[in-house]
Amino acid sequence: MKTFGKIILTAAAAAVAATFVLTTTAAAEFPEKAINYIIAFKPGGESDVTARFQQPFFKKKFGKDLVMSYKDGGGGAVAWAQLNTITGDGYTIMGTNLPHMVIQPLQKDVGYTTDGIVNVYMFHYTPDAIVVTDKSPYKTLKDLIDFAKKNPGKVTFSGSAKGSSNHLAQVTFDRLAGIKTAYVAFAGTAPSSTALLGGQVVASWGYTTVPPAYPGTRMLAVAMEKRHPNFPDVPTFKELGFDMVSGAYRGIAVPKSTPEDIRKKLAKMIDEINHEPAFIKQMEDNGFAMLNAPYGPELDKFMAKAKKDITTSAKEAGMVK
Amino acid sequence: MTAKREYDTPGIILAAIFILLAGIFLNESRNLTDSDSYVFPVAICTAMIVFSIIFIVWNLLKPHPDREATLVPGSTPRRVGLVALMMISALIMPYVGFLPAGIGVFAALMVLAMYEPWTWKRAANYALICVAIVTGFYVIFDIVFLVPLPEIPF
Amino acid sequence: MQGIEYVLEAISLYHISIALAGVIAGTVIGALPGLTATMAIAVLVPLTFSLKPASALILMGAVYTGAIYGGAYSAILLKTPGTPSAIATTFDGYPMAKRGDGDLAVTLACTSSVFGGLVGALFLLLLAPPLAKIALAFGPVEYFWLAIFGLSLISALSEGHMLKGLIGGCFGMLLTTIGVAEVSADIRYTFGSHTLIGGIEPVSALIGLYCVPVMIDLVATPARHLQVSTEGRGFRLREALSLNWRHKFSLLRSSVIGTITGILPGAGGSIAGLVAYSEARRSSKRTEYFGTGEPEGVMASESANNATVGGGFIPTLVLGIPGTPPDAVILGALLVQGIRTGPNLFVGGETSIVYVFIAGLFVATVLMLPTGLLIGRYAYRFIISVPKAILVPTVAFMTIIGTYAIRNNMSDVVIMIVLGAIGWVLDRYGFKPSPIVLGLILSRIAEQGFVQGWIIGTARGNAAAEFFNRPISLGIIVFIGISMFYPLIARRWRLNKELQNDSET
């Protein structure tokens, strides 16, 4: 009997200890396995590249892999519409993009709503910029505006698809500068910049990421609050008297069923990477601009403002009624 | 040559369906406001309607039977069965997971495509092959190429 | 000799084994419809963090080359292009396999792919900076006409049923308009369905249109899938090489077409194969045999699509503009490594990486000959010897899982199966799948080129002139005219000649 009781006791103690160990490690060591990172676009696009920048830092800091998979379709809408059907255990995260996520649900029923997506962090943006080739006769923004004023409708801008931040910026800028230009939409920054380099268009509404990626291009102005650290010589639109700050914002979202503490943990992890000097340098060298909007009031405030601004300019651009 | 006028009846019916389809798309185009979005589809629809009408008129005036199309050897239930089984596998996979759905449907497809008598030995062999191939696909896609296949939900 | 050190580095045992592994993996990936080179390379990107950049690039290049070639197997043996690049390979490859020449077709695809790959790599090595300018010379209008050129092949592919071919082409184009319009961002023709918002993915549609009908007929009768000859004929390499030699000019022309199409960022392997096929068909003395199992057709398509590999790297490395979708992923991996592409890559500090990579691409292409022949033989034997009760479910699963893998989406699989069933019905009544697939593949390029060209033309003052006044456009228009009407003219000539001969005798 004595031995039996002892066995029971030891077993119980062991079980308690085991559960204790298990729960504490589970609590302390999220993530325990690789995290699946879904990109809502094709491999090789800008959303993929920025996720790739995060990948090695994540592995180094947290010891687990970020595993990319691609759920391309409907300009991101297919992936976002499925996000909330995935099990929310923190091991599936998804890249999100503005202004897409605001405009699409306003256009039609696309299977998700802007507020239904749980973003845990908005981590960078690509500011809009007017880009010309090195050989272009327009040295400053003023040169281009003067030409456009004399020749209404003759200035052609290439840019990303309609409803992209490039397109909204073109509409806003036309109004602010009192000019009329033609917008030629392409299926992304790569074909749009190719058209610029090939002289198919006069200029391009691109991003600050264009000049580092496409040698032979330069920017006339950037839509940022302050000048981009990598391009100290390029003025902001604000300095030149046009009040516009805009761009394509990228973040990370989780399924709605993800527990509150995991959401916060993920936000903290992305925040750590976002403050890594080597990561910041890599992003800025490639023309990206950093943004720190972690889960909580900061993100809510950011999203509320973004939603309002994007809705206003999308209406102006005729993208939504 | 023959006295009887032979029409390409299925071709004419399909051409009529294509006209209908183009009509549905044309009708839906009226909801689009941006000319960039509708110019091209409207042009395609118009072309499709024009080609289909020419095809129908041409065939009614001068019958061109499509001789190739008249021959249908083989078993229709098996044909339908193949499409149905593939469809079932696609529909149940998200709910029961890739492996169970895959093995079940794979086995059913084996039975469907079998033209030789079943023996116990053959059945045992094929069962092994079925499990091996589906598992092999799972390993290649899910583990090697990191394609997130539907998992067993429990 | 300067440069020898790059060659030596590329042929180190380490790099040769990397290239070998890459080519083998790539060939298998390419042979499975749905698994694309783009995806395989995306999976490999994390490896670039641990490997040296040059080694990682060699691996990616090898996988890419292998995948483009591997697409030929399923094109020839199952009438299903493993990658879109192999669409034109099905036209003559599958009829060859049907009549019992599958082994020859597979070997011919291998030798032609190696040749095309080497031509593409040679252009990359010697002429990359000047050739990169081609990528910039093509504007929206040129792409529009290029797409029309591809579509003009419909007339050749549907002889006797021209109207059915044209209707099929329109149907294919209409299918691609469903979903979110790529440039105008409107959500169109979804008829309220959430499933259709993602649109109809061209690759899954072509898997459905080509492969499902083949399986439907396969399951219906006990007959063998392919004819087989009783005696073993080995690789039939000598036969393949002598065919290559006989059509050497056609082979070279196809490779050059492939390289140039690869340079064009808006085009890609499928268009390269189609254009090369169209040109080979036009200039051949045996035009009427194309589409019924003419080896030259397989050669044209396969040499052209492998030439796009080297061609695609030209704008990627020189201008930072990805020539093809896999190039976009490789470019992203380079960015993460901190390597900046551009003209400096060829003359500046990081030259060595580029030249080691190009040398590695040559090595991988050459390695494709033995590995391709062996894997090809194995694939052929498997397809002809496996019992039908195993072949049908295996191929069915390949299409399901392959379609799912393209966008990790089960709706695409459902669409694929539905299109397959529709395609079978259409095929039976004379609406062949190839014109529909041409419409699917080329519609997007045509639409974007048209809309963009129109806006630019209007801004310049005359939209119509934009389409007809540019030299490259005019050149393409002339080619469209030739390839559409040349067969008619040639037939007229031949008839005339025969009439003369008759009257003389």
**Set of chain C residues whose Cβ sits within 8 Å of the Cβ of B28:** 188-189, 191
CATH number assigned to the domain comprising residue A279:
3.40.190.150
Angle at C17 between CA C13 and CA C18, to 5 degrees: 115
- % of chain C beyond a pLDDT of 70: 94
Q: Are C264 and C323 in contact (CB under 8 A)?
A: yes
Is pLDDT at B104 greater than 70 in this prediction? yes
**Phi, then psi, of C73 in degrees rounded to 5:** -55, -55
A318 to B33: CB separation less than 8 angstroms, yes or no: yes
User: In this predicted structure, what is the pLDDT of residue A26?
Assistant: 46
Nearest CA in chain B to C217: B79
Nearest CA in chain C to B147: C405
Q: What is the mean pLDDT of residues C158-181?
A: 90
Query: Is residue C230 situated within a structural domain?
Result: no
Is pLDDT at C146 greater than 50 in this prediction? yes
C189 touches chain B (CB under 8 A): yes
C194 to A163: CB separation less than 8 angstroms, yes or no: no
User: In this predicted structure, what is the pLDDT of residue A301?
Assistant: 95
Residue with tokens 């193949």: B82
Instruction: Identify from A55, A68, A69 which residue to disrupt to test chain B contact, counting B C-beta atoms within 10 A and taking the largest count.
Output: A69
Q: Which of C35-49, C125-139, C450-464 has the lowest mean pLDDT?
A: C35-49
User: In this predicted structure, what is the pLDDT of residue C465?
Assistant: 87
A110 to C322: CB separation less than 8 angstroms, yes or no: no
Q: What is the mean pLDDT of residues B70-96?
A: 87
**Set of chain B residues whose Cβ sits within 8 Å of the Cβ of C161:** 66
C212 to B86: CB separation less than 8 angstroms, yes or no: yes
**Set of chain B residues whose Cβ sits within 8 Å of the Cβ of C390:** 110, 126, 129, 133
Distance from CA of A179 to the nearest CA of B (A): 21
Query: Is residue C231 situated within a structural domain?
Result: no
Angle at A194 between CA A190 and CA A198, to 5 degrees: 175
Is pLDDT at C491 greater than 80 in this prediction? no
Tell me the C-alpha distance between C304 and A320, whole Å.
Answer: 44
**Structural domain harbouring A215:** 127-222
User: In this predicted structure, what is the pLDDT of residue B1?
Assistant: 41
User: DSSP label at C86?
Assistant: G
Dihedral angle sign, alpha carbons of residues C93, C94, C97, C101: negative
Q: Which of B30-34, B119-123, C480-484 has the lowest mean pLDDT?
A: C480-484
For residues A40 and A90, membership in a common domain is answered with yes
Helix (H) or strand (E) holding A158: strand A156-159
Q: Which of A18-27, A266-275, C491-500 has the lowest mean pLDDT?
A: A18-27
Distance from CA of B120 to the nearest CA of C (A): 16
CB < 8 Å & 24+ apart, contacts of C447-450: C447/B40, C447/C177, C448/A186, C448/A187, C448/C140, C448/C143, C448/C182, C448/C183, C449/C140, C449/C141, C449/C142, C449/C143, C449/C144, C449/C145, C449/C146, C449/C147, C449/C266, C450/B39, C450/B40, C450/C140, C450/C144
Tell me the C-alpha distance between A283 and A244, whole Å.
Answer: 23
Residue B71 pLDDT grade (very low, low, confident, very high; cuts 50, 70, 90):
low
Q: How many CB atoms lie within 10 A of CB B18?
A: 24
A70 touches chain C (CB under 8 A): yes
A43 closest CB neighbour out of C135, C136, C329: C329
Tell me the C-alpha distance between C311 and C316, whole Å.
Answer: 9
User: In this predicted structure, what is the pLDDT of residue C485?
Assistant: 77
The radius of gyration computed from the CA coordinates of chain A, to the nearest angstrom, equals 24
For residues A55 and A113, membership in a common domain is answered with yes
Q: Which of A159-163, A297-301, C342-346 has the lowest mean pLDDT?
A: C342-346
Q: Please name which of C186, C193, C151, C141 lies closest in space to residue C172, comparing C-alpha atoms.
A: C151
Q: What is the mean pLDDT of residues C167-177?
A: 95
B74 touches chain A (CB under 8 A): no
C198 to A78: CB separation less than 8 angstroms, yes or no: yes
The ipTM of this complex is 0.93
Q: Mind listing the pLDDT tens digit for each residue in A96-121? A: 998 999 999 998 889 999 999 999 99
CATH number assigned to the domain comprising residue A167:
3.40.190.10
> Which A-chain residues 6-25 have CB contacts (< 8 A) with chain C?
none
User: In this predicted structure, what is the pLDDT of residue A44?
Assistant: 85
Tell me the C-alpha distance between A228 and A226, whole Å.
Answer: 6
- Domain stop point among A222, A241, A266: A222
Three-state SS at A156: strand
For residues A137 and A105, membership in a common domain is answered with no
Is pLDDT at C383 greater than 90 in this prediction? no
User: In this predicted structure, what is the pLDDT of residue C100?
Assistant: 87
**Set of chain B residues whose Cβ sits within 8 Å of the Cβ of C217:** 74, 79
**Set of chain B residues whose Cβ sits within 8 Å of the Cβ of A318:** 33-34
User: In this predicted structure, what is the pLDDT of residue C354?
Assistant: 82
Q: Please name which of A47, A30, A39, A53 lies closest in space to residue A94, comparing C-alpha atoms.
A: A39
Tokens read off for A116:
């239904």
User: In this predicted structure, what is the pLDDT of residue A22?
Assistant: 46
Q: Which of A15-29, A228-242, C126-140 has the lowest mean pLDDT?
A: A15-29
Q: What is the mean pLDDT of residues C23-45?
A: 87
**Set of chain A residues whose Cβ sits within 8 Å of the Cβ of B147:** 69
Tokens read off for C138:
């093509």
For residues A265 and A116, membership in a common domain is answered with yes
Q: Please name which of A177, A212, A175, A174 lies closest in space to residue A193, comparing C-alpha atoms.
A: A212
Distance from CA of A241 to the nearest CA of C (A): 27
A318 to B34: CB separation less than 8 angstroms, yes or no: yes
Distance from CA of A285 to the nearest CA of B (A): 31
A67 to B146: CB separation less than 8 angstroms, yes or no: yes
User: In this predicted structure, what is the pLDDT of residue B65?
Assistant: 67
Nearest CA in chain B to A34: B146
**Set of chain A residues whose Cβ sits within 8 Å of the Cβ of C340:** 212
B25 to C430: CB separation less than 8 angstroms, yes or no: no
Tokens read off for A111:
């299977």
For residues A42 and A89, membership in a common domain is answered with yes
Q: Mind listing the pLDDT tens digit for each residue in C173-190? A: 999 999 988 888 888 999
A251: left (phi over 0), alpha (psi -120 to 50) or beta: beta
CB < 8 Å & 24+ apart, contacts of A174-178: A175/A316, A176/A242, A176/A243, A176/A244, A177/A145, A177/A148, A177/A242, A178/A149
Report chain C's mean pLDDT, rounded to a whole number: 88
Residue C502 pLDDT grade (very low, low, confident, very high; cuts 50, 70, 90):
low
C436 touches chain B (CB under 8 A): no
> Which B-chain residues 30-49 have CB contacts (< 8 A) with chain A?
33-34, 36
Q: Which amino acid is at B58?
A: W
Distance from CA of B5 to the nearest CA of C (A): 18
Distance from CA of B145 to the nearest CA of C (A): 6
Number of domains comprising chain A: 2
Number of domains comprising chain C: 1
Distance from CA of C368 to the nearest CA of A (A): 26
Is pLDDT at B80 greater than 90 in this prediction? yes
User: DSSP label at A120?
Assistant: E
For residues A134 and A218, membership in a common domain is answered with yes
User: In this predicted structure, what is the pLDDT of residue C36?
Assistant: 83
Three-state SS at A312: helix
Most confident of A140-149, C2-11, C240-249: A140-149
Residue A166 pLDDT grade (very low, low, confident, very high; cuts 50, 70, 90):
very high
For residues A151 and A140, membership in a common domain is answered with yes
Query: Is residue A181 situated within a structural domain?
Result: yes
C410 to B93: CB separation less than 8 angstroms, yes or no: yes
**Structural domain harbouring C496:** 4-225+238-504
Per-domain residue ranges of chain B: 9-70, 76-144
Is pLDDT at A138 greater than 90 in this prediction? yes
A49 closest CB neighbour out of C135, C332, C458: C332
Is pLDDT at A20 greater than 50 in this prediction? no
Residue with tokens 């069965």: B81
C390 to B39: CB separation less than 8 angstroms, yes or no: no
Is pLDDT at A151 greater than 50 in this prediction? yes
User: DSSP label at A248?
Assistant: E
Is pLDDT at A1 greater than 60 in this prediction? no
User: In this predicted structure, what is the pLDDT of residue B154?
Assistant: 62
Dihedral angle sign, alpha carbons of residues C338, C344, C346, C352: negative
Query: Is residue A97 situated within a structural domain?
Result: yes
Q: Mind listing the pLDDT tens digit for each residue in C60-70? A: 999 999 999 99
For residues A44 and A68, membership in a common domain is answered with yes
Residue A7 pLDDT grade (very low, low, confident, very high; cuts 50, 70, 90):
low
Residue with tokens 């399951």: C219
Q: What is the mean pLDDT of residues A23-45?
A: 78
Q: Mind listing the pLDDT tens digit for each residue in A171-189? A: 999 999 999 999 999 988 9
Q: Mind listing the pLDDT tens digit for each residue in C316-357? A: 888 888 888 899 888 888 887 777 777 666 665 556 778 888
B137 to C397: CB separation less than 8 angstroms, yes or no: yes
